[in-house]
Amino acid sequence: MERVRDNDACAKALADAVETASREAIEKRGTFAVALAGGSLAKALGALREETRRVEWDKWRVFWVDERCVKWDDEESNFGGAMRALFGDVSVKRERLYAVDETLCERNEGAAKPCAEAYERDLRALTPDVIELNEDGLPVFDMLLLGFGPDGHICSLFPNHALLRETEGWILPIADSPKPPPERVTFSLPLVNAARAKVFVASGAGKAEMTARILEEAPQDGSVPAALVTGDVRWIVDDAAASKMRNS
Ligand SMILES: O=C(O)[C@H](O)[C@@H](O)[C@H](O)[C@H](O)COP(=O)(O)O
């Protein structure tokens, strides 16, 4: 766990971690395949502007670990948030930013299923040439940048939800998200865990209780989806978010 002072320092540490991972992935495989959460994580991405000259943006492929089924210019769009925070101003080719198909999202109701199918098709088209498959046949992203909710959800995988047990699809529709809007698409838990590295950012007092629960108790019963992430999992935690940990 990397402990930093505050939200700005979290964003800086995130930018450093992403720049390093991007350089290494491009050296080894010629591409950096990254997938992003929404919410506060998207805002922290803005710090990557400082790295602009060092990053080979044209080698990036960007997906979203979850997306709300809304138009891109909607306040709720995770793609829109990341465009405003970063991608509107750096030179990733637009066709390499894999937003959900907004034409399927004129209305939120009924959009999740066709959106998830189309988004999974986009991802399948890149495998295995651009994004490798692991021995279980799952795409291996170089890095996922994850947030988590105060309830412990990651992506749009919510506590005790049946989707947590889904082992077939890569991109799953959810029509009953407890956090609005109800219809969204999300990476499955196996797809999350297949990624080479996962970075969690925990910033602010609102995340303190859940940060301690995930890192110190790590319940495996599905009540805290963030505790089910395995493999190379890195944490960037600021003082406020660490304040309820026993050893903080
Ligand atoms: O669409 C979403 O709801 C987000 O993508 C979600 O996965 C986010 O990462 C968490 O909800 C945490 O959000 P905050 O950091 O804003 O609390």
Report the pLDDT value the prediction gives residue 43, as an integer from 0 to 100: 87
Distance separating alpha carbons of residues 83 and 57, to the nearest angstrom: 14
Q: What span, in angstroms and rounded, lies between the C-alpha atoms of 43 and 112?
A: 25
pLDDT tens column, 74-88: 999 999 999 999 999
For ligand 1, is residue 80 a contact (CB within 6 Å)? no
147 lines ligand 1 (CB under 6 A): yes
Q: How many domains does the chain have?
A: 1
Q: Give yes or no for residue 248 having a pLDDT over 80.
A: no
ipTM (interface predicted TM): 0.93
Note whether residue 109 is domain-resident. Answer: yes
Within-domain flag for 65: yes
142 lines ligand 1 (CB under 6 A): no
Question: Is 176 inside any structural domain?
Answer: yes
Separation of alpha carbons 39 and 41, rounded Å: 5
pLDDT attached to residue 54: 87
- Could you tell me if the CB of 67 is within 6 A of ligand 1? no
Quote the percentage of the chain above a pLDDT of 90.
94
List pLDDT tens digits, range 85-123: 999 999 999 999 999 999 999 999 999 999 999 999 999
- Ligand 1 within 6 A of CB of 81: no
Which residue minimizes the CA distance to atom 1 of ligand 1?
38
- The parent domain of residue 216 ranges over 2-242
**Who's near 14: CB < 8 A, 6+ residues apart?**
44, 45, 47, 48, 145, 199, 201, 236
Q: Would you say 178 and 123 are in contact if contact means Cβ atoms under 8 Å apart?
A: no
Q: What is the pLDDT, as a whole number, of residue 182? A: 97
**147: CA distance to ligand 1 center in Å?**
6
The pLDDT value given to residue 9: 97
Within a domain: residue 248? no
Assess whether the C-beta atom of 107 lies below 6 angstroms from ligand 1: no
Q: Whose CA is nearest to atom 17 of ligand 1?
A: 149
Q: Please tell me the distance from the alpha carbon of residue 32 to that of residue 52, in angstroms, as a whole number.
A: 15
Residue 41 forms part of a structural domain: yes
Tell me, using a 6 A CB cutoff, whether residue 77 lines ligand 1.
no
Query: What integer pLDDT is reported at residue 153 of this predicted model?
Result: 98
pLDDT at 247 over 90: no
Residue 79 counted as domain residue: yes
**Which of 40, 100, 157, 176 maximizes ligand 1 atoms within 8 Å of its Cβ, making it the mutation to test the pocket?**
40
Is residue 247 a part of any domain in this protein? no
> Ligand 1: which residue has its CA nearest to atom 13?
39
**pLDDT on residue 236:** 98
What CATH number is attached to the domain comprising 94? 3.40.50.1360
With a 6 Å cutoff on the Cβ, whether 39 touches ligand 1 is yes
How many whole angstroms from 38 Cα to the centroid of ligand 1?
Answer: 5
Q: SS3 letters for the chain?
A: CEEECCHHHHHHHHHHHHHHHHHHHHHHHCCEEEEECCCHHHHHHHHHHHHCCCCCHHHEEEEECEEECCCCCCCCCHHHHHHHHCHHHCCCCHHHECCCCHHHHCCCCCCHHHHHHHHHHHHHHCCCCCCCECCCCCECCCEEEECCCCCCCECCECCCCHHHHCCCCCEEEECCCCCCCCCEEEECHHHHHHCCEEEEEECCHHHHHHHHHHHHHCCCCCCCHHHHCCCCEEEEEEHHHHCCCCCC
**Residue 7 — very low, low, confident or very high, per pLDDT cuts 50/70/90?**
very high
- Atom index in ligand 1 nearest the CA of residue 76 equals 1
* 146 occurs within a structural domain: yes
pLDDT in tens, 197-224: 999 999 999 999 999 999 999 999 999 9
